[in-house]
Amino acid sequence: MSCLALSLCAGHLFSRPYPLRGYQYTGLRDIEICIQQLEFTSLCPMTGLPDFGRIIIDYVPDKKLVELKSLKFYLLQYRNVGIFYEHVVNQILEHLIGAVESKRMKITGDFTARGGITPRVSATFEK
């Protein structure tokens, strides 16, 4: 299944989609923001078992900042979505790019070990 297909499927699996919101950034200097969601959960699309991990969002805002409460509820929606690690990281990046105007953004997923293998997946955007 392609990333786009998974993206569309995941959107339909959110029972009540919670939109990401941003608010205006009026700072005169570039700032770097790091946000961590330490209890990220999604479902393995192969087994239906829960996958656990940490999502790290690093970005330099341009005109908007992400509103943290909307981000929290947005990320919680994935707890019932069957999606591969690589696709969830890319999908979160795409959704955040659409909601927040940033100069740079990097999403990293540090997922818990399965069978002794600990995956770390990153996706990056730069204007």
Q: Are 64 and 100 in contact (CB under 8 A)?
A: yes
* 30 labelled catalytic: no
Nearest to 120 by CA among 60, 53, 63: 53
Nearest to 70 by CA among 30, 109, 94, 100: 100
* 44 labelled catalytic: yes
Owner of token pair 């979505």: 81
- The tokens for 18 are 């919670």
Nearest to 39 by CA among 29, 48, 50: 50
Q: Considering 44, 58, 62, 110, which one is annotated as catalytic? A: 44
Q: Considering 51, 58, 62, 110, which one is annotated as catalytic? A: 51
- Active centre residues (catalytic): 44, 51
